[in-house]
């Protein structure tokens, strides 16, 4: 059965999370399940996927029920060749909620309170709160998601995590294009409409601009009636320069 990650995160507070890196982009939870389940009881397996394409990002999270089993799996599966690629198995450092994890186990924000537990905070309430907030801000949900993707893009992330932080601008061609496209798609509405209007000759369709130059309005204007033969256009374009008859 492959129902991992389809029903949301189960009780991870009592499970150990393992991080599997270096896996192939085609490896799925079903492929890792038998591998990890052989060394221990796998509670759940989750593989982050891209929301745009849906492909795996190249790493998966395996949750074990016991630490000893998880440790064994790490020692046995770490360095194992899966699908022709050597995978890297290690304990997760951060949790789904950006929480700290020790030895694969999630430590709540206050390890001391774990024992005392002054606040009777159940994880159900936590999820409920989050859901409520998300539903309430459905308006900014779209923007939030879009912004998140842009910042967490594979390219952006890779460059950001580079060993040496060298902000090279030569490689920003893709980003420039994206930015330009986005700007001309939403900002061109009230940004500078007077700059793009007076550019009929700069149209991106030269072959369809004027297939018949002989019938251009200039000639008709001169032939018919020319109020200002010197400069028909307010910009004073040298229309005379061009020979009307080729």
65 binds DNA (CB under 7 A): no
Q: Which of 25, 144, 149, 178 binds DNA (CB under 7 A)?
A: 25
108 binds DNA (CB under 7 A): no
From the list 8-16, 176-184, 185-193, 231-239, the region that binds DNA by CB under 7 A is: 8-16
Closest separation in Å from C-beta 76 to DNA: 18
**Smallest distance from DNA to CB 229, Å:** 55
Q: Which of 27, 12, 87, 17 is nearest to 57 (CA)?
A: 27
214: left (phi over 0), alpha (psi -120 to 50) or beta: alpha
Identify which of residues 74 and 239 has a Cβ nearer to DNA in the complex: 74
Q: Which lies closer to DNA via its Cβ, residue 17 or residue 71?
A: 17
Closer Cβ to DNA, 27 or 239, answer by number: 27
Contact status: 1 vs DNA (CB under 7 A): no
Q: Is residue 61 at the binding interface for DNA, with CB under 7 A as the rule?
A: yes
* Residue 106 or 239 having the CB closest to DNA: 106
**Closest distance between DNA and the C-beta of residue 51, in Å?**
8
Alpha-carbon span 246 to 239, nearest angstrom: 14
Minimal distance, residue 68 CB to DNA, in Å: 18
The piece of 69-77, 108-116, 156-164, 191-199 that touches DNA (CB under 7 A) is 156-164
Determine the interface stretch with DNA among 44-52, 71-79, 212-220, 223-231 (rule: CB under 7 A). Answer: 44-52
Sign of CA dihedral 132, 137, 138, 143: negative
Residues 6+ apart with CB under 8 A from 217: none
Of 181, 244, 173, 174, the C-alpha closest to 213 is 244
- 23 contacts DNA (rule: CB under 7 A): yes
Minimum distance from residue 170 beta carbon to DNA (Å): 18
Residues 64 and 73: beta-carbon distance below 8 Å: yes
Tell the smallest beta-carbon distance from residue 43 to DNA (Å).
Answer: 10
Max CA distance (Å), the chain: 97
| Rounded Cα–Cα distance for residues 22 and 57 (Å) | 10
Interface residues toward DNA, by CB under 7 A: 5-9, 12, 17, 19, 21-25, 44, 46, 48, 55, 57-59, 61, 63, 85, 90, 92-96, 98, 101, 106, 127, 131, 154, 157-158, 161, 163
């Amino acid at each position: 059965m492959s129902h991992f990650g389809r029903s949301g995160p189960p009780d991870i507070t009592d499970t150990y999370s393992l991080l599997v890196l270096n896996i192939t982009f085609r490896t799925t939870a079903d492929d890792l399940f038998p591998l990890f389940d052989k060394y221990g009881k796998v509670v759940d397996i989750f593989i982050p996927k891209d929301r745009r394409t849906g492909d795996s990002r190249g790493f998966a999270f395996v949750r074990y029920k016991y630490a000893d089993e998880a440790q064994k799996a790490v020692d046995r599966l770490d360095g194992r060749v899966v699908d022709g690629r050597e995978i890297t198995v290690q304990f997760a450092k951060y949790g789904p909620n950006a929480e700290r994890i020790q030895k694969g186990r999630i430590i709540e924000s206050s390890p001391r309170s774990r024992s005392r537990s002054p606040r009777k905070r159940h994880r159900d309430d936590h999820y409920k709160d989050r859901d409520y907030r998300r539903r309430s801000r459905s308006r900014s949900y779209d923007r939030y998601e879009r912004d998140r993707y842009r910042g967490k893009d594979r390219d952006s992330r890779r460059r950001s995590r580079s060993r040496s932080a060298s902000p090279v601008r030569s490689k920003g061609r893709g980003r420039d294009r994206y930015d330009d496209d986005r700007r001309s798609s939403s900002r061109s509405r009230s940004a500078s409409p007077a700059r793009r209007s007076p550019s009929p000759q700069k149209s991106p369709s030269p072959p369809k601009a004027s297939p018949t130059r002989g019938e251009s309005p200039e000639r008709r204007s001169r032939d018919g009636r020319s109020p200002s033969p010197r400069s028909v256009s307010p910009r004073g374009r040298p229309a005379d320069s061009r020979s009307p008859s080729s």
